[in-house]
Amino acid sequence: YPGWWEGGAQLDFFINKAAFNGLSKENQAIVEAAASYAHTEMQARYDARNPAALKRLVANGAKVLPFPKSVMDEAFKQSMALYAELNDTNPAWKKIYGDYAAFRRDANLWARFTEATFDNFMQRQKL
């Protein structure tokens, strides 16, 4: 583990901007509410069901081991190289990824001082 590079379960909903803007304000609100609900429901099910799934895997003999640091370091290095290449060749990617990377930096900074410390503490406790 982790099982993929860009961590975090997500449910995305894409709609043509012109089509969305052509909807009434009421229907725009319905689309936004439905997309938000679908994401929240999916995330809740993911969080609620995965502990039991992990227990079943382990009970059936699966060994859950972290990737070695060297693998994680190389995955990070290769990902950054790919992102740099995409930044150089794809202006749309560069804009989207730049905004995403800035948000992720700020979110990680915040989490380091808030949730990460508590999460790390609780994960070491015998509950």
Residue pointed to by tokens 């993929």: 4
- Output b/e per residue, 18-29; b: 16+ Cβ within 10 A: eeeeeeeeeeee
DSSP states of 87-100: HHH-HHHHHHHHHH
The Cα 57–Cα 48 span in angstroms is 16
pLDDT tier, 10 (very low <50, low <70, confident <90, very high otherwise): confident
Domain ranges of the chain: 1-65, 67-127
Q: What pLDDT digit, counting tens, does each position of 55-108 carry?
A: 999 999 999 999 999 999 999 999 999 999 999 999 999 999 999 999 999 999
What is the predicted pLDDT for the residue at 31? 98
Q: Where are the beta strands (DSSP E) in 9-117?
A: none
pLDDT tier, 5 (very low <50, low <70, confident <90, very high otherwise): low
